[in-house]
Chains A and B, each alone.
Chain A
Amino acid sequence: DTAVSQTPKYLVTQMGNDKSIKCEQNLGHDTMYWYKQDSKKFLKIMFSYNNKELIINETVPNRFSPKSPDKAHLNLHINSLELGDSAVYFCASSQQPTGAGNTIYFGEGSWLTVV
């Protein structure tokens, strides 16, 4: 069983569309994250949820909206997609929020291409 699974793995879509990436973890962790890896392979935090509550919200356009229906799920919805949104999006989880020195478990990544 995959510990952190995200779908879809690949997504090609046109500018202006709305899309969602889903993430689920079966590790029983309290904290989940979305990270973005740009074309230069640089990773950056987007959002973090702890027990379904938003605790980190970096400077991300409000076209990006995370939703956590329960502790095991953190979905990312993107409205009005732009070319610059093309990137790899990684979901991750940990037992406690960053700052507590926990091991982080990453999903396989979702490759989003906006054309």
Chain B
Amino acid sequence: KNEVEQSPQNLTAQEGEFITINCSYSVGISALHWLQQHPGGGIVSLFMLSSGKKKHGRLIATINIQEKHSSLHITASHPRDSAVYICAVDADKLIFGTGTRLQVFP
């Protein structure tokens, strides 16, 4: 069992839909990162969380330290949001989830 589990693995949505990607972890952490990877491209850091909630544009990330769970929400999804979203926990080294492939169709 991976120390960082993401769900779902794959997600398709219609433009405008509300998206939720979940991340659960089993180790002690100092922070949790949400990353975005476009096809053939590099990796961009979306959020770093150690508690509570953060919002950036249409993206919202939440974390519950007691339950060892985080969610990434995308409101009013758009085709340009299509990418792989990766959860990574900072446990003295980054431990990555397997990623969630999101495809948003017009």
Contact = CB atoms under 8 A, between A and B. Distances in A.
A101 B30 contact: yes
A97 B90 CA distance: 10
The A interface, classified by DSSP as helix, strand, loop or mixed, is loop
Contact of A103 (B43, B45, B98): B45
Given A105-B45, A109-B42, A45 B31 contact: no
Interface in A65-113: 90, 92, 97-109
B76 interface: no
Contacts, number: 60
Contact of A41 (B33, B48, B92, B98): B98
Given A99-B90, A101-B90, A44 B96 contact: yes
Contacts of B41: 108-109
A115 interface: no
Interface in A13-28: none
B56 interface: no
A48 interface: yes
A43 interface: yes
A54 interface: no
A114 interface: no
B94 A45 contact: yes
8 contacts: A41-B98, A45-B94, A90-B43, A99-B90, A99-B92, A101-B31, A102-B48, A103-B33
Interface of B: 30-31, 33, 35, 37, 41-45, 48, 50, 84, 86, 88, 90-94, 96, 98-99
Interface of A: 33, 35, 40-45, 48, 56, 58, 90, 92, 97-109
Given A103-B48, A106-B44, 8 more contacts: A35-B94, A41-B84, A98-B94, A99-B91, A101-B31, A102-B31, A104-B33, A106-B35
